[in-house]
Amino acid sequence: MAKKIIALGSDHAGYKLKTEIIKYLQKRGYETVDVGNDSESISSSYATYGHKLANYIQKNKGTENEVFYGIGVCGTGLGISYALNRHEGIVAASVSTVKDGALAKQHNNANVLCFGGRIHTIEEAEKIIEAYENETFEGGRHMDRIKGIDEFIDVDSEGHIFKKTEVK
């Protein structure tokens, strides 16, 4: 069986939950890669670690170190998801419930789950992760909707989002 790598990143507010998630994933046999932050006591930016996580996932696509999926953690799960979603090929879903986790895979084909270190317990995160892993992407109309996002927006080399076409 090929190794399954899950890459994780967090700011200071997500550090504790991230370390608990890493232990949980390793117990389940996953390899984990932590792109940082390394402390909850030193303030850090969710944007920095969102970009680091996205870059790690992108750089290893198609290699022996390809990431199975990613996990980002900040105070709410929202900020890090915004940073991650600025990157091509990244579909980050801020998830709060088990149903969110399942639908992130079924309807959105998310490849990064984002949690709130100030919101979620490890038990909640574990249940959401399991719901996500137990689903498959449904494709069909959901793929059409995802393509619609890509057709409407583009991102330049500096991360600026702009309108590519007019909505009809």
Q: Which positions make up the binding site?
A: 11-12, 75-79, 108, 118, 141, 145
Q: Which of 51, 87, 107, 120 is catalytic?
A: 107
The answer to whether the bond into 37 is cis (omega within 30° of 0) is yes
Note if 74 is an active site residue. Answer: yes
Residue with structure tokens 């330049």?
156
Q: Which of 74, 87, 114, 120 is catalytic?
A: 74
For the chain, state the CA radius of gyration.
16
Q: Is 49 exposed, middle or buried (0-12, 13-18, 19+ CB in 10 A)?
A: buried
CA–CA dist 106, 132 (Å, integer): 8
φ, ψ of residue 161 in degrees (nearest 5): -90, 135
Q: Which positions make up the binding site for D-ribulose 5-phosphate?
A: 11-12, 75-79, 108, 118, 141, 145
Alpha helices in 72-121 (DSSP H): 78-84, 98-106
Active site residues: 74, 107
